Amino acid sequence: MFNNYSKKIKKAYDKISEADNIVVGVGSGLSAAGGVNYADEKFFKEHYPQYAKLGYHNVSEVMGVFWTFLNKDNACKYWGFWSHHINEVRYKTPALKPYISLYNILKDKNYYIISTNVDYQLEKAGFKQEKIFEPQGQYSQFQCIVPCSNDVYYNEKYIKSMIKNKVDDYTISSDDIPYCPKCGEFLIQNLRCDNKFVEGENYKNYNKYKEFLKDSVDKNTVFLELGVGYNTPTIIRFPFEQYCHVYPNSTLIRMNLNQASIPEGINNGISIDNDLNQSLKDMLDLI
């Protein structure tokens, strides 16, 4: 089995090295492989101990409670959680090892990235924003809850103030509740969760991504998929499969723990079902 794994890593590395274009798809599994796993109880107890005391077991459980239910009665506790979470994941967490390995593998290649992650890990690892399309939003941005405009607002100063002035572990000061500077309604996190999501800033690279796909049609193209499961498969997973059906010189490299299977009909496919952190390290060691 080890030999088979090693052969797959070598084959994937060779395909990446020989490719004219590399289309990279990044999902939450890549961050999870680096330790930021929303389903992991150990991670939760270490970074969210106050919520573990309330009987919650992981980040996803608490996110479900505070996902889209902001109102005047719960605003201080709503932001008690979200300020802590955004601060932990966006502002406190450094570049994770899988992202650093990925950057070092791709830094001299011709690539474009689409990512459903909102944690800024790609940028922290060294990837340039102009080479990344992030259609799901960013933890570093707020938008109007209405929304009254397509504007987004960089939120570090808001988050740091909420953390500094917390009333207790679960509650921010009412003075730190963020409001839209244009209409006075609540500001909320700029994440795709309903039809009120402001796409503007996040879609600034959409045309660049589409042009890269167009340019890749007849070239030796690798679709490199990392940590993408079935939460939002219509954004990366299914389109990558469709592209590999119609791009004559394409290869699909699907790397994920437990969800790396490749459907029939894709002849040039490499499935690597293994810990992503280790797999990318092993690939980097081949350079």
Same domain for 127 and 26 = yes
Residue 82, pLDDT > 70, answer yes
Same domain for 167 and 76 = yes
Instruction: Quote the CA–CA distance of 15 and 2 in Å, as a whole number.
Output: 20
Can you state the angle between helices 156-164 and 75-86, rounded to 10 degrees?
110
Residue 158, pLDDT > 50, answer yes
pLDDT tier, 64 (very low <50, low <70, confident <90, very high otherwise): very high
The pLDDT of residue 162: 99
In this structure, are residues 81 and 170 in contact, taking their beta carbons and an 8 Å threshold? yes
The pLDDT of residue 2: 47
Mean local confidence (pLDDT), 56-76: 94
Place of tokens 């009412």: 174
The pLDDT of residue 68: 72
Residue 24, pLDDT > 80, answer yes
Of 151, 168, 196, the domain-final residue = 196
The pLDDT of residue 201: 76
The pLDDT of residue 26: 99
Domain tally, the chain: 2
Cα torsion at 260, 261, 263, 269 (round to 10°)?
Answer: 60
Instruction: Quote the CA–CA distance of 226 and 259 in Å, as a whole number.
Output: 10
pLDDT tier, 69 (very low <50, low <70, confident <90, very high otherwise): confident
Instruction: Quote the CA–CA distance of 123 and 126 in Å, as a whole number.
Output: 5
Average pLDDT over the chain reads 96
By percentage, how much of the chain surpasses pLDDT 90? 94
CATH number at residue 223: 3.40.50.1220
Same domain for 172 and 103 = no
Predicted structure pTM score? 0.95
**DSSP 8-class letter at 146:** S
The pLDDT of residue 202: 78
Same domain for 101 and 68 = no
The pLDDT of residue 1: 40
pLDDT tens sequence across 182-214: 999 999 999 998 899 999 777 889 999 999 999
Same domain for 78 and 46 = yes
Instruction: Quote the CA–CA distance of 108 and 101 in Å, as a whole number.
Output: 13
Residue 168, pLDDT > 70, answer yes
Q: Which domain holds residue 112?
A: 1-36+95-134+205-287
pLDDT tier, 227 (very low <50, low <70, confident <90, very high otherwise): very high
Take residue 125 and report the two structure tokens written for it.
């690892």
